[in-house]
Amino acid sequence: MLIDTHCHLDAPEFNQDRESVIERSLENGVTGIVIPAVMKQNLDTVKQLAHQFDGGYYALGIHPMYVRYAKDEDLADVESAIQVALKEDDRRLVAIGEIGLDFFIPEIKEGKERVRQEFFYREQLKMAKKYDLPVLLHVRRSQDMLLKHLRQIQVPGGIAHAFNGSEQQAKAFIDLGFCLGFGGTITFTRSLQIRRIATGIDLNNIVIETDAPDIPPAWLREEKPRNSPEFLPQIAQVLADLRGMTLEELAYRTTENTYRVLPRMRPIQ
């Protein structure tokens, strides 16, 4: 029983075989897939897709890489979509995301683009606090600034997706109620820092993900490899081996962690 806590299943890379990808993932033991929105235009898309299969869940938000194409009014559309889902008691909505800051891409890491990123990030943190929802955080060379705003606008935790910071930054996110998401990057032997953190921190603070179709694992050698949620068990096995435990134990523990930080996913007894 594995949960892919971050998968862009609505991406065009899956347009030709999305149903079979979902089928293979379920057959491989992936019982949950969280599909985050990235812009106004796919808010409804991720919701509809999540409702098309057992184990589908979604998050609503505007990704920092798409902020440059967004209008301020798009934030109202995000909030409206959240309100509708909560009014419907739609438990497949599990978080606000994907939100955050990206200081890796040169064109958006400075000046007005950076200011705009921070504005959208803060406004969506305010929504998370208002509606008591966790957040799925995009973390790319922006850990300290993300943490600064999280300390000012306290939200009910969430996931630092594709975590790639320092041990000190990892502890800071954990102290604020976040789990760290690990995926394909840990399958590369040269990813020494990420592997060290993924094996060194308490297992209670780890969830697993693919970020499909991005961040493909080491064994995909094609020129343009497409990651997929069906590979989550193999990625999880690498992490289990690194930590010296069984895949079954890792699956159980990371699933429980996911339920803790994304409580709307926990099955109703």
pLDDT in tens, 7-49: 999 999 999 999 999 999 999 999 999 999 999 999 999 999 9
| Mean pLDDT score across all residues of the chain | 97
pLDDT digits 0-9 by tens, 132-175: 999 999 999 999 999 999 999 999 999 999 999 999 999 999 99
Residue 241, pLDDT above cutoff 80: yes
Could you give the CA distance from residue 232 to residue 2 in angstroms, rounded to a whole number? Answer: 8
The helix (run of H) or strand (run of E) holding residue 32 is: strand 30-36
pLDDT at 27: 97
Question: If you average pLDDT over residues 253-257, what whole number do you get?
Answer: 98
pLDDT at 269: 66
Residue 54, pLDDT above cutoff 70: yes
Question: If you average pLDDT over residues 232-241, what whole number do you get?
Answer: 98
pLDDT at 223: 80
Lowest mean pLDDT among 85-89, 115-119, 264-268: 264-268
- Cα separation values, 260 from 25, 158, 205, 207, 264, Å: 23, 9, 10, 10, 9
Residue 236, pLDDT above cutoff 90: yes
263 with 57: CB under 8 angstroms? no
Q: How confident is the model at residue 186 (pLDDT cuts 50, 70, 90)?
A: very high
Q: In what order do the strands lie in the sheet with 30-36?
A: 2-4, 30-36, 56-60, 93-102, 135-140, 158-161, 178-182, 206-208
The Cβ-side half-sphere exposure at 95, using a 13 Å CA radius, reads: 35
pLDDT at 86: 98
For residue 9, the one-letter residue type is L
